[in-house]
A and B are shown apart, each in its own frame.
Chain A
Amino acid sequence: MTCIWAVARQMIAEGIRMKIAFVFLVLIGVVLVGLPFSIEGDGSVAGAVQSFISYSLLASGFFLSLLTIFMSRSLSDDFVNQNLFLIVSKPIPRWQFILGKWAGMTLLNLAFLSFAGLSVYGMVRYIQSSHPTAANERDARELHEEVLTARHARKYIEPDLTALVEQEFEKNLELGIYANRPDFDPEAMKLSIFRKYDARWRLVPPRDSRVFNFDSVLCNRSKDETIQLRYKAEVTGYAPDEVFRAVFRFGDPLKGTPLYDVPVRHTIRRYHLVRAPADCVAEDHTLKVTFFNENPFAEEKQAHNLLEIRKGDDVEVLFAVGAFGWNLVRMLVLMMCKLMFLAAVSILSATVFSFPVACLTTFTIYVLASVRRFLEESFDFLLGSDVKLFDSLRDFLLQATAQVYAMLQWLLPDFGRFDALETLVNGRNVGLVWVLQGVADLVILKTVVVLGLAILLFYRREVAETSF
């Protein structure tokens, strides 16, 4: 442990005194201090805070990733400048040296990320108090309830249409509709019927209603607390001003909750939040929300539109489960996991290549990990049809690239999967399970494998070898 700590301290000292870390620290500082004075967002305090959090953490993450990539130069330089002659001749096992280098990078990242996190938190409080609209009660509430919070989301329970589907299927059988159909497939028929009923359920005719049921709404059921319903609606007909009027009723009298009617006047095809006191949630933490396609505003006219809640546009209920501060911390932990993996890749690259090849290799892996989902979709799209290996040079290259990528995939993490920035900005809860998944996948599994590979290569390498 003494040796690991000694190497880590040396690495930190190098980062700071060789000014690599200093440069990135200044860049992060400039972004964090300069952004609040240059961004406007949508004019509201919530928008300004969201823009600041988004840009500042994005920039901090990017700069720290670059710092980690450039820090790989330290080990490359140890080879080139032959500093390793003095280290390898000392009684430090090589694995401890590699681990020390990684620990140094990680501690440096941890310190800088903590600085960034604290600065973001402080600047958010500054914006909150100094923004021109901060005194506006509505804006302040929007900021408090939609941004500076950690909300958990529950999707509604899909209606059980099985009975209806079975009933119609049996009826069709009796009527002989499926007779003389050589391609008759009962399951396909049932699916077809299900789709019909599902689409019908999603369409809400004028003066009709739909019920959305939620369970596990584990919020504080106090009247002073608020729950939010997030939804988006379409109209099948023409809406003159692209606005529809409707009523949401929160609560279930059968479960003894109060009822709250919330009239809304909302724009179509955009997400909206509808708020209600949290005591509308039943004691068993279920929530019933009824959507009425009725115009509650007597003085306003409304066309008799058919409103539609589409399948992809999930209706969800949001409720606070934590504070912004801890949410930020969990988001930073996920960022840290990525940096720890990147540090391991940097070390691995430096054991094989010298500067700048090591940095370029690490940067490439960083980019690939960041766009992995896009790459997967691209390969799936390109190789979706029956591509033969030797049909053309293009197909051959595609197949070869895809195969290489497939081999690398087990090692290459999906940074996008653990990107919690949008979640944080939207005031959503960065779940502990998600964080633990990030730790397990990025650190315990992939970082350990990459570091193991680096140690193996470092053990095999002759440090005094000149021809590399």
Chain B
Amino acid sequence: MVKQDIPVVQTVGLCKSFKDFWRRPRVEAVKDLNLEIQPGEVFGLLGPNGSGKTTTIKMLLGLLYPTRGRISLFGRSPSDVAVKARIGFLPEESYLYRFLVAHETLDYFGSLFRLPRRIRKDRTEKLLDMVGLRHEAKRPIGEYSKGMARRIGLAQALINDPEFLILDEPTSGLDPVGARQIKDVIRELGRKGKTILLSSHVLSDVEDVCDRVTILYGGQQRAAGDISELLRNRDVTQFTTPALSTETIEQLGQLVRKLEKKDILEVSNPRTKLEDYFLQIVEEAQRANIRTSGARASGEMPEFLKVAADSTTDTVIDTLIEATTIPATEETKQPSPVEEPVDRTREIVESLLKQSADDTANSEDEMANPITSSDTNVNTDEGLPKTSHRADSAVIDELLGPSANDNRPSDGDKP
């Protein structure tokens, strides 16, 4: 196990300049970068093209040598073979051998980790199931689509059950199912306590899964911090309920005006995300056993990658369903005790729940299939004391589950 006091990654004054034929510095790709990633963190490395993200990753992996500065992984040099045994790496492109078939590819990379044959075979099968390519395991990688190759890339990155996973643009070239799956894998591994470094242009991906981010520009660090703190909008309160009648909404407006002296800014039926709708269609097609030569994301998350204590996440599909559905039981589930004092927002929420008790009973069928327009979003502006915002979020999260953020209305939504 990783000792808590040793960062998984630590760079001090890291610099990398590329030189021309005459050994003159041509490009300074990374300048004086100081990074520290603690064990168990899901860390995002953000930045536009040419900002030095991939160069930094290459230096962490020993593919490039720093011009100046120091790198340590698990407190040791990146070139240390023992350190590499604890790392999984998914590069931005699929740098796989085109002539090897999928299971040979995984077996090959498993061999490089000196995994015994039995374990290699077992993990290969399970990872192929996980990435949905078991039925295409006998085809050379060269015949795969980009997305399929990325899936094999992900599988090879996980073959050693890494303690530290480096993902460079992991969702690039993947269909929404694959992209979602990768995010689920990241979440799952994060729950297991793995450390993950994610470099991506797709900011929503980073936002979905990362605990902390660093933003690079011109090879230098421009911003860093906890992602929830960086992105929290403290000026708006949002909660989502099953569909409300016009009268209830009006009463709710009156209640808010009465209690907070503020108007509700926006009341809308949230649109489902296209990603969720797409996933639903794919799942239906898979249930109908429609033939495809592409990936079938219907496999199980391998045992060796599962969270030992978490028995609720059984399959990748379960994970997908869980992530895209508000469970029917959520409604009746008692909120977990919140340490912070229950304030007026809680009262509002409780009032809302009370008022819509009848509607809830009627809408239970719809809850099982939540990708409908029967939900209502309510946004208020500066209606609550700022000191209670953290507690508000916690209560709402507890009530509505983690997908509450997913249902946040887009900018284009009208009241």
Question: Which residues of A line the B interface, CB within 8 A?
Answer: 2-3, 5-6, 9-10, 13-14, 17-18, 81-93, 462-467
Contact = CB atoms under 8 A, between A and B. Distances in A.
A100 to B, nearest CB: 10
Given A86-B96, A89-B61, 17 more contacts: A2-B114, A3-B111, A3-B112, A13-B104, A81-B95, A83-B96, A85-B58, A85-B61, A85-B89, A86-B91, A88-B62, A88-B63, A90-B84, A91-B82, A91-B114, A92-B81, A462-B63
Contact of B111 (A6, A84, A85): A6
A465 B61 CA distance: 13
Interface in B87-113: 87, 89, 91, 93, 95-97, 99-100, 104, 108-109, 111-113
Contacts of B100: 10, 13
13 contacts: A2-B114, A3-B111, A6-B111, A18-B99, A83-B97, A85-B61, A87-B112, A89-B84, A91-B84, A462-B64, A465-B64, A467-B20, A467-B21
B85 interface: yes
B115 to A, nearest CB: 9
B65 interface: yes
B112 A85 contact: no
A467 B100 CA distance: 28
Interface string B45-78: 0000000000000100111110000000000000
A463 B109 CA distance: 18
Nearest to B21: A467
Nearest to B55: A464
Contacts of B140: 17
Contacts of A84: 63, 95
B156 interface: yes
Interface string B328-347: 00000000000000000000
A91 B61 contact: no
Interface residues of B, number: 34
B18 interface: yes
A92 B112 contact: yes
A11 to B, nearest CB: 10
Contacts of B87: 89
Nearest to B99: A17
B19 interface: yes
Nearest to B85: A91
B64 A91 contact: no
Given A10-B97, A467-B21, A89 B85 contact: no
Contacts of B112: 3, 6, 87, 90-92
Nearest to A82: B95
Contacts of A89: 61-63, 84, 87, 89
A295 to B, nearest CB: 73
A85 B63 contact: yes
Interface string B99-135: 1100010001101111000000000000000000000
A399 to B, nearest CB: 30
Contacts of B156: 86
Given A6-B111, A83-B96, A88 B61 contact: yes
Interface in B1-57: 18-21, 26
Given A18-B99, A86-B156, A464-B63, A93 B81 contact: yes
Interface of B: 18-21, 26, 58, 61-65, 81-85, 87, 89, 91, 93, 95-97, 99-100, 104, 108-109, 111-114, 140, 156
Given A13-B104, A91-B114, A463-B63, A86 B95 contact: yes
A6 B87 CA distance: 19
A447 B83 CA distance: 31
A16 to B, nearest CB: 9
Give 5 closest A-B pairs by Cβ, nearest first. Answer: A6-B111, A464-B63, A91-B85, A17-B99, A90-B112
A175 to B, nearest CB: 80
A85 B97 contact: no
A81 B93 CA distance: 10
Contacts of B61: 85, 88-89
| B83, B109, B140, B156: residue with the most chain A Cβ atoms closer than 10 Å | B109
Contacts of A467: 18-21, 26
B111 A2 contact: yes
B80 to A, nearest CB: 9
A156 B394 CA distance: 105
B131 to A, nearest CB: 16
Contact of B58 (A5, A92, A464): A464
A85 B91 CA distance: 8
B286 to A, nearest CB: 30
B17 to A, nearest CB: 12
Given A6-B112, A91-B113, A464 B95 contact: no
Contacts of B91: 82, 85-86
Given A6-B111, A465-B64, A85 B81 contact: no
Contacts of A88: 61-63
Contacts of A465: 18, 64
A167 B84 CA distance: 83
- Most chain B beta-carbon contacts within 10 A, residue among A90, A91, A464: A90
A13 B99 CA distance: 8
Contact of A6 (B62, B64, B108): B108
Nearest to A465: B64
Contacts of B26: 467
Contacts of A10: 97, 100, 108
A82 B112 CA distance: 17
A14 B140 CA distance: 12
B62 A91 contact: no
A462 B85 CA distance: 20
Contact of A85 (B82, B95, B114): B95
A88 to B, nearest CB: 6
A92 B111 CA distance: 9
Nearest to B90: A86
Residue in B63, B64, B96 whose Cβ sees the most chain A Cβ within 10 Å: B63
Contact of A464 (B64, B82, B97): B64
A40 to B, nearest CB: 43
